[in-house]
Amino acid sequence: MSETLTPQLPKDEAAEKGLVNVQIDGTWIQVPKGTRMIEACKMAEKEVPHYCYHPKLTSPGNCRMCLVQMGMPPRPAPGAEPVYGDDGYQEIGWMPRPVISCANTVGENMGIRTTGKLVEEVREGVMEFLLINHPLDCPICDQAGECSLQEFSVEHGRGQSRFVEDKVKKPKNVDIGPRINLDDERCIMCSRCIRFMDEVADDAVLGFSERGTHTTVTCHPDRRLDSNYGMNTIDLCPVGALTSKDFRFQMRVWFLKETNSIDVNCGTGCNTTIWTRGSKVYRVTPRRNDDVNSEWMPDSHRLAFHETQGDDRLTDPMIKVDGKHEITDWNTALTAAADALKEFQASEIAIIASARQTNEELFLTKALADTLGITTLATVPRTGEPDGKLISADRNPNTNGANLILGATPTTEIIKQKLHSGEIKALLILNEDVFEAAGFTHDDLAPAEFIISSNIIANKTAHASDIFLPGASFAEKRGSMINVTGRLQRLNQAIQPTGNAREDWEIIRDLILTITGEKNDMFMIENVLKMIATNIPEFNGITFSKIGDQGIPLIETGVEIPLLTKERAQAAAGIIVG
């Protein structure tokens, strides 16, 4: 048998790995078989402008913005063998007309041109059509600064309009839902919002009415856009057609600072971006994490940040004197708290910790309990209806962290009983409102001789406290939390704590130091995480930089996020890219 002398061709090499060779703007790369052309271009770090395409949604191919030039090897004449060049590739025969890259998949020896005369001309043409009926009201449009139409006009538009006819008038300022406003003249009919509501939110209230140049995104008057996932359409909208009633006209986006963080309103821990200016949070938007929240988040969680900026926000330490709270400084408050705790036997003190605390705060809470010898430590479970998408039944963001760090803790019912029996005389309540979350009544708290609490707003627990220590909101602190799937994620500080409030881990640290009288050797939250990493095996080797913006899987819980399960099934079926 003669040995073959033909060297292996690139196509065979690629085929062995399930890949295909694609030439993108002159450079050959290998991409998985079945990859969309637009994704292949992304892999080659070539930008293809697009509006309607979104990897998490189906591709209708209706915006025509992602047109590229495509070429395949010419079919050999009958009887002829394919000819391979010196580099092992066949010559590419370029098609004279462009194709959309979002809905076509790559093939072996395919060529894609994302630049060149043809591509530039068609992009200019598509841009001109998209802008024909656009009102060009960027100066008063909320999307300005984060608008794809604006960006691609600059990059691919012709700069001047040749349109001399009358623009089509469409409805403006349409009250399409309780949280969303619609301007149909700005809409470019990409249909992302329609597909999102249909495919992800399972509430297909949006649709097109009319036809051709009069096509309008709208909904039936009895079925408005009031889904708890509706505001994701605002982020999806590439133009200023769908805008948030909450955020519109509040601030220009280019003035806002973006901080990557996580949502703390349920166990899922949706990844978020917090948009701030100065010391104010202006909006919270979801951030992509394919292992947590895909690219979405529920409206209720998105708007929850307002609670931390209300009039009831407490920003000063307070001591109750003759039944009235008086503002004081931190030293006085902490000393008073330490002195008060020393008045009681360790067995007479109970700590109500919270699965809303970060791992670092929980660890220091445990350290505080150990310092004083306190054994009665409880957390408040917080459960609700799961919504089958992103909202978990566990409304505490860090239940897994609390279980890891504090161990199994009893519920507050035991503390309630011990208060009534007189076993417990002093309470330290951290980040919890026992009235709202644990069903305490004033009668339940009446036997307590001394209550110290830490929180951010003036709730009933704060009113009942003898000493109140103001903590930081989710946007004002750093820390880590473990979500329902066991993923360790990172909270980042977007703004400084309001007024005299302090980060919660510092409050607990200072309370420990005031009690022991030791010198501080813990200046940074990194020190706390380091101590967790040395003390708790699961955290071995963990640092904030290792957690990163996407988090890391820490423990196995077997819990799945329903929205991701659905999305992965769609991606496996090839309906979406994923």
Partner 1 sequence: MNTLEKNVASPVTPGEQHFPPFEVSDDIIALADERISHYPESKLSAVLPLIHIVQHKHGFVSKEAITWIAGKLEIEPMKVVSVVTFYPGFRQSAPGKFHYRVCRTLSCAMAGSYELMDQICEITGIDRSKLSHHHPIVVSPCGMYSVEFAECLASCGSAPVCLVNDDFHENIKPENAQDLINKYQP
Q: Between vectors from CA 196 to CA 191 and to CA 200, what angle results, nearest 5°?
A: 160
What is the footprint of partner 1 within residues 59-98 (CB under 8 A)?
none
> Which residues face 276 on adjacent strands?
257, 281
- Give the max Cα distance, the chain: 104
Q: Of residues 26, 221, 278, 517, which one binds partner 1 by CB under 8 A?
A: 221
Q: List the structure tokens of 273.
A: 């971006």
For residue 537, state whether it binds partner 1 (rule: CB under 8 A). Answer: no
Taking a C-beta distance cutoff of 8 angstroms, is the pair 387, 467 a contact? Answer: no
Nearer to partner 1, 121 or 175 (CB): 175
For residue 546, state whether it binds partner 1 (rule: CB under 8 A). Answer: no
Q: Of residues 28, 208, 344, 544, which one binds partner 1 by CB under 8 A?
A: 208
**Piece of the chain touching partner 1 by CB under 8 A; list 211-219, 301-309, 369-377, 548-556:** 211-219
Q: Of residues 175, 307, 339, 436, which one binds partner 1 by CB under 8 A?
A: 175
Taking a C-beta distance cutoff of 8 angstroms, is the pair 123, 65 a contact? Answer: yes
Residue 225 Cβ vs partner 1, minimum distance, rounded to whole Å? 10
For residue 135, state whether it binds partner 1 (rule: CB under 8 A). Answer: no
**42 vs 386: CA distance, rounded Å:** 36
* 223 CB neighbour count, 10 Å cutoff: 12
For residue 206, state whether it binds partner 1 (rule: CB under 8 A). Answer: yes
Q: List the structure tokens of 225.
A: 């856009």
For residue 202, state whether it binds partner 1 (rule: CB under 8 A). Answer: no
Q: List the structure tokens of 573.
A: 């079926």
Q: Of residues 207, 381, 447, 486, which one binds partner 1 by CB under 8 A?
A: 207
Residue 215 Cβ vs partner 1, minimum distance, rounded to whole Å? 9
CA distances from 495 to 163, 476, 544 (A): 47, 5, 18
Query: What DSSP character marks residue 311?
Result: T
With CB under 8 A, what is the number of residues at the site for partner 1?
Answer: 20
Q: Checking DSSP bridges between strand 19-24 and strand 27-32, what pairing results, if any?
A: antiparallel
- The residue to which tokens 């880590």 are assigned: 480
Q: Of residues 32, 125, 171, 486, which one binds partner 1 by CB under 8 A?
A: 171
* 174 CB neighbour count, 10 Å cutoff: 19
> Which residues face 383 on adjacent strands?
394
For residue 224, state whether it binds partner 1 (rule: CB under 8 A). Answer: yes
For residue 176, state whether it binds partner 1 (rule: CB under 8 A). Answer: yes
The 241-280 contact track toward partner 1, x by CB under 8 A, reads ----------------------------------------
**Piece of the chain touching partner 1 by CB under 8 A; list 170-178, 244-252, 447-455, 508-516:** 170-178
Residue 211 Cβ vs partner 1, minimum distance, rounded to whole Å? 5
Residue 217 Cβ vs partner 1, minimum distance, rounded to whole Å? 10
Nearer to partner 1, 11 or 186 (CB): 186
Non-local CB neighbours of 471 within 8 Å, separated by 6+ positions: 431, 454, 455, 456, 497, 501, 502, 503, 504, 507
For residue 214, state whether it binds partner 1 (rule: CB under 8 A). Answer: yes
Residue 195 Cβ vs partner 1, minimum distance, rounded to whole Å? 13
Q: Of residues 27, 209, 383, 441, which one binds partner 1 by CB under 8 A?
A: 209
Rounded to the nearest 5°, which phi and psi values hold at 439? 70, 25
Non-local CB neighbours of 117 within 8 Å, separated by 6+ positions: none
**Piece of the chain touching partner 1 by CB under 8 A; list 204-212, 316-324, 335-343, 355-363:** 204-212
**Piece of the chain touching partner 1 by CB under 8 A; list 33-41, 137-145, 167-175, 489-497:** 167-175
Q: Of residues 211, 324, 342, 519, which one binds partner 1 by CB under 8 A?
A: 211
**495 vs 282: CA distance, rounded Å:** 11
**415 vs 421: CA distance, rounded Å:** 10
Q: Of residues 130, 190, 205, 452, which one binds partner 1 by CB under 8 A?
A: 205
Q: Checking DSSP bridges between strand 174-175 and strand 216-219, what pairing results, if any?
A: unpaired
For residue 201, state whether it binds partner 1 (rule: CB under 8 A). Answer: no
What is the SS3 assignment for 52?
coil
**538 vs 480: CA distance, rounded Å:** 14
Q: Of residues 65, 174, 402, 445, which one binds partner 1 by CB under 8 A?
A: 174
For residue 220, state whether it binds partner 1 (rule: CB under 8 A). Answer: yes
Residue 214 Cβ vs partner 1, minimum distance, rounded to whole Å? 7
Q: Which of 469, 460, 463 is nearest to 340 (CA)?
A: 469
Nearer to partner 1, 198 or 387 (CB): 198
Non-local CB neighbours of 200 within 8 Å, separated by 6+ positions: 56, 57, 229, 232, 294, 296, 563, 567
Nearer to partner 1, 84 or 208 (CB): 208
Nearer to partner 1, 127 or 205 (CB): 205
- Point out which residues bind partner 1 (CB under 8 A): 171, 174-176, 204-211, 214, 218-224
